[in-house]
Amino acid sequence: MGFSAHSTAGIAAVLLMAACSHQASPVTDAPAAASPALASVISAPPAETTGGFDGARAYKHVAGLVAIGPHPAGTDGIRRAQAYIIEQLKSFGCPVEEQDFHASTPIGDVAMKNILVKIPSANPNIILYASHYDTKRIDNFVGADDAGSSSGVLVEFARLVCARKNATTIWLAFLDGEEAFNLQWADPDNTYGSRELAASLALSGTLRHVKAMILVDMVGPASPVFKRETNSTPWLTDILWSTASRLGYGKVFIDEKSAIEDDHLSFLNRDVPATDIIDLEVPYWHTTNDTLDKIDPRALAITGHVLIASLPELEKKIH
């Protein structure tokens, strides 16, 4: 994803600030553990304190995706990431569909795959949750935060909503090809998966049933700060941010604004209400420093807690 043209000038200052204020994942207060990885896992809050969403499970999925190594669109790595995600979803009993397509990119035709979970309901209105799972095409870039964190959250979220009695149809989309093939993020070299999904739903007539699209992207740092994304649909952003405030996460979901271009634009451009939960102001963004040690299970748990806790209000709103 990228900052919009309006906010580009602020990036350097913002990143400098972030570099000063962000700290390494604080695992030192965790009880003694058998391995560093386990120490991080047990720093997640108990699932019963975060709406049943298990930050430790989400972290384990991030670790699983990072262990695959780099997985840009069209590579062997992403095929292993697809297998991992699909295996997890099926283990929860989620109905999984694969949307295979070909994208025309700066390096030629690339085979891509969106992974979809479509949880049926008597109510045909759809709430769509999405995360991209491809990593940026940079040597040795494993993308723990971008796109491991949000994909790990969405896999754990799937465990909850596939077993939940939902009042509306809920879809989850693991999107391919969000990242640009070129180093710079410039249209149309980005968001291949979300554009394909939105276009195919428009063609089939299903898009009019999608009443809300909630994107998660880069939700893993130790001190996450999510600003209200200004391209997004205000009422939808309000539901998430007010839920966060009610849960005591007002210092994570803050009222400051930021304009970010991301997969939600593919739906906003087709008049589907959409929003984006993202902390792009991290010093390791799109560098090989985006590694597992940057991921705090608590950040994943907070994000997941807000997703699951805001669902009843969202269901009421679009019923």
Which residues, numbered 234-263, are part of the site for Zn ion (CB under 5 A)? none
Instruction: Determine the size of the site formed for Zn ion (CB under 5 A).
Output: 1
* CB nearer Zn ion, residue 50 or residue 266: 266
Q: Minimum distance from CB of 146 to Zn ion (Å)?
A: 4
Q: Minimum distance from CB of 182 to Zn ion (Å)?
A: 13
Q: Minimum distance from CB of 294 to Zn ion (Å)?
A: 14
Which residues, including other chains, have CB under 8 Å from residue 254's CB and lie 6 or more apart?
Answer: 225, 226, 227, 228
* CB nearer Zn ion, residue 51 or residue 148: 148
Which residues, numbered 101-160, are part of the site for Zn ion (CB under 5 A)? 146
Q: Minimum distance from CB of 1 to Zn ion (Å)?
A: 6
* CB nearer Zn ion, residue 146 or residue 276: 146
* CB nearer Zn ion, residue 133 or residue 171: 133
Q: Minimum distance from CB of 136 to Zn ion (Å)?
A: 5
* CB nearer Zn ion, residue 97 or residue 187: 187
| By the rule CB under 5 A, 276 interacts with Zn ion | no
* CB nearer Zn ion, residue 196 or residue 263: 263
Q: Residue 65 in contact with residue 71, Cβ under 8 Å?
A: yes
Instruction: Please identify the residue of the shown chain whose CB is closest to the bound Zn ion.
Output: 146
* CB nearer Zn ion, residue 168 or residue 190: 190
Q: Minimum distance from CB of 35 to Zn ion (Å)?
A: 29
Q: Minimum distance from CB of 68 to Zn ion (Å)?
A: 17
The footprint of Zn ion (CB under 5 A) covers: 146
